[in-house]
């Protein structure tokens, strides 16, 4: 089957599509990074190529911790986007003060609790139209 952009639920991650492609490249290496503004030093989540605080467009990549805390979650059992198997746990994982909207990988959604620790587990999703690997941030309860 041909590539159908209209039903592709995942971002185009390559350098030709986004100047934030380093985020995905490092995620593929098992690292969670974000942008730190070169002007005022603030870190952002999600990563940003433009600082809303000081208007600088200069930034550096900084590593975030590999573990965070489940801040909120919801379990979706039906109506999942194409490419997702259910039930799927979507969670906000708090890491270093940032609230990271993510997928929680677990075989037992009923056991998920607010406040539990979760560890970065990058999730490989469908390849991009040119066959390049794509990754999303995901976490596993620990």
Residues that bind Zn ion (CB under 5 A): 37, 39-40, 51, 53-54, 56
What's the distance, CA 45 to chain centroid?
Answer: 10
Which is closer to Zn ion, CB of 48 or CB of 119? 48
Tokens of 75: 């379990």
- The backbone torsions φ and ψ at residue 25, rounded to the nearest 5 degrees and listed phi first, read -60, -40
Which is closer to Zn ion, CB of 38 or CB of 82? 38
Tokens of 55: 């208007």
Q: Quote the least distance from Cβ 124 to Zn ion, whole Å.
A: 32
Which is closer to Zn ion, CB of 38 or CB of 114? 38
> Which runs of consecutive H residues, i.e. helices, occur in the chain?
21-28
What percent of the chain is helix, strand and coil (3-state, nearest 5)?
10, 35, 55
Q: Quote the least distance from Cβ 49 to Zn ion, whole Å.
A: 12
Contact criterion met (CB below 8 Å) for 114 and 79: no
Which is closer to Zn ion, CB of 53 or CB of 127? 53
Q: Quote the least distance from Cβ 90 to Zn ion, whole Å.
A: 30
Q: Quote the least distance from Cβ 62 to Zn ion, whole Å.
A: 13
Tokens of 120: 């970065």
């Amino acid at each position: 089957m041909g590539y159908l952009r209209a039903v592709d639920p995942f971002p185009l991650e390559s350098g030709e599509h986004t100047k934030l492609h380093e985020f995905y490249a490092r995620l593929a290496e098992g690292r969670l990074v974000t942008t730190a503004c070169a002007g005022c030093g603030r870190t952002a989540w999600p990563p940003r190529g433009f600082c809303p605080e000081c208007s600088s467009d200069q930034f550096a990549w900084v590593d975030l911790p590999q573990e965070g805390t489940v801040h909120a979650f919801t379990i979706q059992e039906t109506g999942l986007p194409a490419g997702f198997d259910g039930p799927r746990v979507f969670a906000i994982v708090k890491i270093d003060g940032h609230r990271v909207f993510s997928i929680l990988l677990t075989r037992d959604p009923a056991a998920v609790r607010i406040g539990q620790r979760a560890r970065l587990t990058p999730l490989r999703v469908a390849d991009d139209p040119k066959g390049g690997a794509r990754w999303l941030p995901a976490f596993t309860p620990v």
